[in-house]
Structure formats: structure tokens, C-alpha cells
Amino acid sequence: MRLPRSATLIFVVAAAAHAQLTAPSTAAAKPKRLATSPAAPPPLQTPADTANAMAQVERLALQSDLAWVGEYNGAITGEVSERMVAAIKEYQKSKGSRPSGVLNPQERTVLGETARRRQDSAGWRIITDPGTGVRLGIPTKLVPQQTSDANGAKWSSPSGTIQVLLTRRKEANPTAARLAEREKKEPAGRQVDYTVIKPDFFVLSGLQGLKKFYLRGTFKGDEVRILTILYDQAVENTVEPVVIAMSSAFNAFPTGAQAGPPPRKTVDYGTGLVVSEDGAILADREITEGCLAITIGGLGHADLIEDDEGNGLALLHIYGARSLKPFNLGGGAAKSAVELAGIADPQNQAGGTAVSSLKASVSQLNGGGNLALAPQPPAGFSGAAALDETGKFAGIALLKPVVVAAAAEPTSATPTTQAVLVRPDTVQAFLKENAVAATGTSMDAKAALVRVICVRK
């Protein structure tokens, strides 16, 4: 797996010439106009200028998405480079578009959706290894089997086709160069075809037996920590985009905010929307993940039927409940603003089980088919119903964690969650895939809302 060096970025963009119009001559003499100098054309915008104008989190997401579709093979840092713009152009060529180096909104949406599908297919997760404290990304569906001990951890596919090894050891006065030389020889027979040595880390890749390998190592004091990825050449096309993401997500010695997301709450609260008379409820996947028990306030236990990793939806079902008033999911659409109806988290908000509402603006969200909401609604509102200006269903509001595989670590200014609106057609497709007939006729969204309570260990 190669990560070639970046080169100097030089872009030449052709500008349209400004033609000076002159008035046609006529039979009658007209007074001559004084000649004036044409206005200077605006400064030329290069693809790099456009990328630099993005927020840091958007550049990180763009590089990450390009890596997941196999077009970008550099470090995911959020820094604009020739390699990043070249990757955009190659992606545009692959889609039959003009390779401008700047994605239009439709291209960006398609790219994001494709990357999300590939992440979901791989089971991509950013985790903190409990034994070592290392923060890393793991394709959990590709390597579902895990073992660990005091010296590290191992994830592997059932047949051993793909293996991920996290190792740690003590070594006196380590340097990146000495560590790299040792790893080139262990195990015996490694054929290294790519080497990078920096003061604080090193990278090797090549062949180990019949498998390809990628290795990234670093150290702090006398503690050495190394990530090794082994995979059969037959799965190279599937694994190599994941290797890029894993390399960039690897943080051997995380501190503070870099150590990963905080532990999940023992009790989590969200909002659910009743969509059928027999007890089908739409909720937030993040709220309902890893629960020992899910309870619907005032109605009792609920079963988790299915979830949608890509869009963040969960389908719950309660049995035996009467007098449910499912909401009508047809006819609405978000424009510039929506009204969110939800139930705030009682741990952070007053008001008990009361349904409340707030206004939010809607904008296009880069990297997916969903929309962005601002301001971010309060805790407990994840799963809230969004209504358009006529009171019709305009989608489900979710608070989604911002997870990007990046060498650039989060700072206090980096958002940890993002408020998004899942469109009505996405919601309806999710219900159809799970054979749920949305039978709601009520136009009273507040009457169809319930509190979702998740209890974890």
C-alpha cells in the first residue's frame, strides 16, 4: 500500500474573455462617448482556493469519502494538496463529468452516499482499544473475530483472509529508523517495497508470504505501538481503501479529546414517532444501540426490529398498546425551515414528558442525501418529527456523531455531533424495506410522539 509524496500544487484556470461591445453606426450623427476602461475581472478561483474555503471538518470528510471510493490514497489531514484535487478530478472522470477539480452539490452528494455505503458494508467504527488505549478504526464486518491480551489485540475475518494486529512492547531508547529496520526483518521473509521514516513514526508496506501488508508504528518514551494490516491479494480492491482510512485514524497515544468519544450513557433518552396502529415506531439508531432494554414512556417494553446504519434510523415495535395515533407521513417537504416536535431529555431539561417544539433552518449537507439543521436541537430531540410550513411531515431529526478517519485530531472547536434531517422519501423507503405499512392518518404530530428510553450496562 503506497502513500506517495505530495507535490507542489500548480493550477492554471482559463478565464472567459470579456468582449467590449460597441454601438452600431446609424445615419444620424450621435455624440461620441468618452472611452472608459473595462472593469478588472475578478481574481481567478482555482480548485485549491475552493477547497481552502471549506471548513476543516468538510475537507476532512471530503478526503475521507474520496479514500473510501478508491480515488485518494494520501493521509486524511484536511490539508488541501495536489493529490486531493487530482483525486476529485479522477472521481469526476469516473462518473463521466468534466474534471474541474471542484464537486458540484449533486456530485458531492453522490460521493458521500457511495462512501457511506462502503463504510456500512465494511462495518467501519472508530474505537478505543481498552487494553492499550489506542484509538483506531476497525472494519468490524470484514474482521468480526477479536482476541486481546496485555500486549495488544487482533481482529480477523473467519477464514483469516484479512487480519488486523495491534501490538505494544517496551524498548529502550527507540527511534523510528531503528524500529523500521527491525520490523523489516520480522517476521523473516518480509519483502518491503515502500518505506517512510519520520521522527515520530514510520510506515512499511509490501509482501509477507502470500499476503500484502501495511504497517504503521510509533513510540512514546520506551513504549512502542504498531498497527499491522495483512490481507490476501485477492481482496486487495476491497481492503486497500479501508487501509487508507485505518492508517489515518490510527492514534497510538491519544490524549484529551483525541481519546475518542465519551462512554455511552447508562440511560439514554430520545424521541420516537408512532407510524402504524399496530405499534411501529421510528427512532434514532444511535439512541437505541447497545441497549439492554428499550422502553417507551408510558407504554412499556419495545423490541428493536431493524436499524439503518447509513441514515441513522431505527425501527421499534411495541405490542398490545391501544389508542395509538400514528402520524401521516405523506405530502410534506423541507424548504428553508422546519418545526421540530420532540421530547427533551429529562436529565438536561425541565418539562418532564411534555412535547415541545422549536424552529430550525435547513441547508444542504455535504456528503449525503440528508439535510443539515441549525441550531442543533437539545438532547432528547434525536428522533423528533420535522414539520414543514403547512404542518406536514418533512422528515426525522437526528443528532449524529461526527466520525471522520483523520490524522488531524479533533480540537475543542471540532463538533462532536451534527444535527441532520432524514428526508421523508428515505424514511418511507426504510419502512417499506421492513414491510411496515405506515397507516397514520393523524395530522397531529405531537400526539404521535413518544419518549424512547434505552438502558445500558
- Longest CA–CA span in the chain (Å) reads 98
Tell whether the model's pLDDT for residue 409 goes beyond 80: no
Tell whether the model's pLDDT for residue 8 goes beyond 60: no
H or E segment to which residue 246 belongs = helix 236-249
Beta strands (DSSP E) in 223-312 are 223-232, 267-274, 280-284, 293-296, 300-308
Q: How far apart are CA 409 and CA 135, in angstroms?
A: 11
Lowest mean pLDDT of 48-57, 81-90, 222-231, name the range.
Answer: 48-57
Tell whether the model's pLDDT for residue 14 goes beyond 80: no
Lowest mean pLDDT of 16-25, 310-319, 437-446, name the range.
Answer: 16-25
Looking at residue 153, its amino acid is A
Cell 412499556 identifies what position? 300
Structural domains of the chain, with CATH? 47-120 (1.10.101), 123-259 (3.40.1000.10), 267-455 (2.40.10.120)
Q: What is the reported pLDDT for 23?
A: 38
178 vs 408, which has greater pLDDT? Answer: 178
H or E segment to which residue 127 belongs = strand 124-128
Report the predicted TM-score, pTM, of the whole model to 2 decimal places. 0.58
From 135, 191, 137, select the one nearest 164 (Cα to Cα): 137
Q: How far apart are CA 216 and CA 203, in angstroms?
A: 5
Q: How far apart are CA 76 and CA 74, in angstroms?
A: 6
Mean pLDDT of the chain: 83
Q: How far apart are CA 442 and CA 276, in angstroms?
A: 11
Q: Which three cell numbers stand for residue 235?
A: 481482496
String of DSSP letters for 67-120:
HHTTS--S---S---HHHHHHHHHHHHHTT----SS--HHHHHHHHHHHHHHHH
- Residues 343-391 have pLDDT tens digits of 998 876 554 568 899 999 888 765 456 788 888 888 899 999 999 999 9
What is the CA angle 429-308-284, rounded to 5? 105
